[in-house]
């Protein structure tokens, strides 16, 4: 397994945990109040800082374990894998934004629009990691 694939696994797991943690807190606060809570800047900052710190620590550990592979440049195959995964990620993001806007037209709820677009962005990033792992193992 290449260093880039290990990095993708790490980031996919960390992003999944961050997304689950953030949206579970939003769900909990919303269920307590009875309405969808407005996005909270401190909550978003905490999730971003947590994800950043954990990814830095995780990559330090990966580099310590695989110090020979850490500085290698991507080969042609890895470049093609990244391009294909980015393409899929872009399509996921586009579809999620269009669906979010259609949902907003029917509900006129700005908070829901924010969460849907933000969730779509996170899902598209997760899709990029997952597709890079998938393509590096199967297609190319």
CA atoms of 3 and 107, how far apart (whole Å): 45
Average pLDDT, the chain: 93
- Can you tell me which residue has the tokens 């696994």? 9
CA atoms of 104 and 114, how far apart (whole Å): 10
CB atoms within 10 A of CB 101: 12
CA atoms of 39 and 114, how far apart (whole Å): 8
CA atoms of 73 and 56, how far apart (whole Å): 20
Q: What is the pLDDT of residue 96?
A: 97
- How many separate domains does the chain show? 1
Q: What is the pLDDT of residue 68?
A: 80
Ranked by mean pLDDT, which of 73-82, 112-121, 131-140 comes out on top? 112-121
Question: How does DSSP assign 50-77, residue by residue?
Answer: HHHHHHHHHHHHHHHHSTTTTTPPP-HH
| Nearest to 36, CA basis, from 19, 20, 23 | 23
The single-letter DSSP state of residue 73 is: P
Q: Are 10 and 58 in contact (CB under 8 A)?
A: yes
CA atoms of 73 and 40, how far apart (whole Å): 39
pTM of the model: 0.87
Q: Is the pLDDT of residue 10 over 70?
A: yes
Write out pLDDT tens, residues 12-62: 999 999 999 999 999 999 999 999 999 999 989 999 999 999 999 999 999
Q: Token pair of 62, please?
A: 């990966």
Q: What is the pLDDT of residue 140?
A: 60
CA atoms of 91 and 88, how far apart (whole Å): 5
Write out pLDDT tens, residues 63-114: 999 888 877 788 888 899 999 999 999 999 999 999 999 999 999 999 999 9
Residue span of the structural domain in which 128 resides: 3-137
């Amino acid at each position: 397994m290449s260093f880039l694939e290990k990095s993708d696994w790490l980031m996919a797991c960390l992003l999944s945990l961050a997304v689950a943690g953030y949206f579970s807190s939003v769900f909990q606060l919303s269920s307590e109040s009875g309405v969808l809570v407005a996005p909270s800047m401190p909550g978003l900052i905490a999730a971003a800082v947590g994800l950043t710190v954990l990814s830095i620590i995780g990559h330090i550990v990966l580099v310590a374990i695989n110090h020979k592979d850490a500085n290698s440049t991507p080969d042609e195959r890895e470049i093609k894998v990244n391009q294909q995964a980015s393409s899929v990620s872009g399509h996921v993001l586009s579809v999620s934004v269009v669906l979010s806007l259609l949902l907003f037209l029917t509900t006129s709820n700005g908070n829901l629009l924010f969460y849907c677009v933000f969730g779509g962005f996170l899902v598209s990033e997760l899709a990029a990691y997952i597709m890079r792992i998938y393509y590096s193992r199967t297609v190319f």
